[in-house]
Amino acid sequence: MIVMTGALMAQGTDVNVDCTELELPRNGDLTGDGVVTANDAQMAMWIAVTTGTNFQVNLLCSADCDGDGVVTEEDVTSIFLRVLSLETCIDG
């Protein structure tokens, strides 16, 4: 699990990222291609279950679908539901 809190930093297991301040959308589009697919959800799952790995800040923000500052399996589920147009992330 990666917890995002407070100021800027994107290295290590716990990272400090303020997606709002950085104006990085929490929309489930990890690949950044403008479309949310199962591939995005798969990438979010990797982030949710991985520790000790560095991820780009924009990936962390995109994966935090519910915007609570933590990338979890719930975000992954929400992104899958967004793929099916059954749910949206906090920023779209």
Q: How far apart are CA 82 and CA 58, in angstroms?
A: 18
Distances (CA, A) of 10 to 26, 37, 49: 16, 24, 16
Closer of 79 and 85 to Ca ion (Cβ): 79
CB of 32 to Ca ion, least distance (A): 18
Residue 37 Cβ vs Ca ion, minimum distance, rounded to whole Å: 19
From the CB of 70, what's the least distance to Ca ion, in Å? 5
Q: Which of 55, 57, 61 is nearest to 75 (CA)?
A: 61
Interface positions with Ca ion (CB under 5 A): 64, 66, 68, 70, 75
